């Protein structure tokens, strides 16, 4: 059932350990205390600039006034079987030599009984990562990302300015700033005034859920005219001929389109406490869909966590 190649790819995919490191960093970095950071491929140099060590993942921060550093090391060697006790002994040495408060050992192939015994005796935390196959997920997890992608393309902007006395007799049009030029003064309900552009206002309008209610998913683009003040309780003033003019209305001609995300499921893996038993249920499951790097949203990562009993959260969060 398990393949351990972290990408729903063929089992001939080479194992360079980077996929396993990424999963471990994601899982261990989920609930860090405020101020803590998680770094991958952390290198240590001596006073002469020579590299003396490299760590897969380091988590560090402060508890009170005391600095705290934790090490996470990963082992992804399917051809060598479960991680052995000798590797755990090496990690014990690294903890002592480099002053880590804790060490987590993460393996894609589990641990031998000897390794589990050494880890328990020496206080090394051990975790197992198992990739899930498409067969494992069939009917449970969608193969494309559970997202709807929305596109809003504006084709025209019109503005209704509050006219000065006699102005309507003098001119029929007024010059407008560029769509991306932040010169419009926006007065928000709390009284705050900020400079925005037409693009910013259009973004606020298209963020209103009600304008998408009757746009079909997977259908043809729908032509619309969106009007500020109909959807936004915000006032604007526009610079015209050197002075700020009150705006009665801003209208955007546009097309709206919704379609299912094309991002495909590329990663599915379970993260388990290997100290409990070799076949312990996963504590967390990571699912990831990826798409075209040029798309505005090209990755969705979801982590499912096994529920904790009410009132039994180790850090007060649920």
Could you report the average pLDDT of every consecutive run of 10 residues in the chain (318 residues)? 48 61 91 91 82 90 94 92 96 95 95 95 95 87 90 91 63 69 87 91 92 93 88 78 84 94 91 76 87 86 74 38
Is the CA virtual torsion 142, 271, 111, 8 positive or negative?
Answer: positive
Domain spans, the chain = 18-144+263-305, 148-260
Distance between CA 25 and CA 81 in Å, rounded?
A: 23
Domain 18-144+263-305 in CATH 3.40.50.300: no
Is the CA virtual torsion 209, 292, 6, 22 positive or negative?
Answer: negative
CB 275 within 8 A of CB 261: no
Distance between CA 126 and CA 58 in Å, rounded?
A: 16
What tokens were used for 261? 């995300």
**pLDDT score recorded for residue 7:** 55
pTM score, whole prediction:
0.68
């Amino acid at each position: 059932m398990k393949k351990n190649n972290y990408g729903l790819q063929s089992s001939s995919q080479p194992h360079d350990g980077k996929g396993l490191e990424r999963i471990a960093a994601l899982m261990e970095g989920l609930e860090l205390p405020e101020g803590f950071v998680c770094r991958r491929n952390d290198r240590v140099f001596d006073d002469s600039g020579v590299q003396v060590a490299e760590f897969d993942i380091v988590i560090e921060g402060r508890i009170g006034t005391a600095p705290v550093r934790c090490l996470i090391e990963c082992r992804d060697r399917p051809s060598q079987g479960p991680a052995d006790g000798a590797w755990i002994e090496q990690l014990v040495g690294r903890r002592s030599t480099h002053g880590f408060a804790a060490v987590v050992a993460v393996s894609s192939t589990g641990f031998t009984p000897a390794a589990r015994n050494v880890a328990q005796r020496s206080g090394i935390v051990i975790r197992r990562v198992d990739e899930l196959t498409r067969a494992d997920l069939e009917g449970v997890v969608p193969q494309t990302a559970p997202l709807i992608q929305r596109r809003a393309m504006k084709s025209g902007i019109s503005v209704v300015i509050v006219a000065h006395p006699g102005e309507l007799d003098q001119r029929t049009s007024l010059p407008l700033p560029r769509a991306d030029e932040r010169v419009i003064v926006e007065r928000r309900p709390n009284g705050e005034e900020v400079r925005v552009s037409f693009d910013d206002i259009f973004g606020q309008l298209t963020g209103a859920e009600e304008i998408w209610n009757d746009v079909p998913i997977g259908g043809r683009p729908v032509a619309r005219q969106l009007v500020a003040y109909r959807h936004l309780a915000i006032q604007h003033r526009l610079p015209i001929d050197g002075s700020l003019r009150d705006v009665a209305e801003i209208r955007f001609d546009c097309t709206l389109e919704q379609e299912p995300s094309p991002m495909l499921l590329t990663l599915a893996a379970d993260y388990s406490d290997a100290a409990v038993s070799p076949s312990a249920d996963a504590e967390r499951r990571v699912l990831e869909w990826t798409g075209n790097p040029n798309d505005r949203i090209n990755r969705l990562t979801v982590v499912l966590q096994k529920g904790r009993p009410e009132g039994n959260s180790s850090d007060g969060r649920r």
